[in-house]
Amino acid sequence: MLRSADVDALVPRATIEALIPGVLALPRCLDLADGPWCDLDAFHADAVSALWELTISWSDTHRPYAAGDLLSGVRTRLRTLQSSARRHRSRQCGSPGELDALPTPIGRTGEELLATALAEATGHGLKVADEAIGL
């Protein structure tokens, strides 16, 4: 069926319908809470979408284990989505409250140190135009 998926629009649909039991088993392989999915329906929507894309892109190819290859490809794509969501969450800061809990350095801030260095440099021949900082 995969070889003739580009012949008729119903062939990819029949392929996907035949692989639905495998798609329903995918949540056992992945931790849904770790991914971008808010519920099981969102997960299954992404899984069926990935299965459709793979079925279309692999049409007219010979694969002896096409069903297993398709499900493995879907699982790989979902793991990639999961890893991407995990990286995205790790880059985000939870709330301003967490920033308030960070220890502050004792002494002058970076801005104060920079201002002092610039003030000292102007006393040593630095022109006002040279000390302008473009933001």
- Look at residue 116 in the predicted model and tell me its pLDDT: 77
- Residue in the structure block whose two tokens are 């892109």: 57
Residue 25 lies in a domain: yes
Residue 135 lies in a domain: no
Provide mean pLDDT across the span 97-110: 61
- Look at residue 131 in the predicted model and tell me its pLDDT: 56
Give 57-95 as a DSSP string: HTTT---TTHHHHHHHHHHHHHHHHHHHHHHHHHHS---
Give 110-125 as a DSSP string: HHHHHHHHHHHHHHTT
Residue 74 lies in a domain: yes
Residue 105 lies in a domain: no
Residue 48 lies in a domain: yes
- Look at residue 74 in the predicted model and tell me its pLDDT: 92
Residue 126 lies in a domain: no
Number of domains in the chain: 1
Residue 109 lies in a domain: no
Q: Which residue has the higher pLDDT, 58 or 96?
A: 58
Residue 59 lies in a domain: yes
Provide mean pLDDT across the span 112-117: 75
- Look at residue 135 in the predicted model and tell me its pLDDT: 41
Provide mean pLDDT across the span 62-88: 87
Q: Which helix (DSSP H) or strand (DSSP E) does residue 9 occupy?
A: none
For the full predicted model, state whether its pTM sits above 0.85. Answer: no
DSSP 4: T
Domain range for 31: 10-93
Residue 12 and residue 59 in contact, taking contact as beta carbons nearer than 8 Å: yes
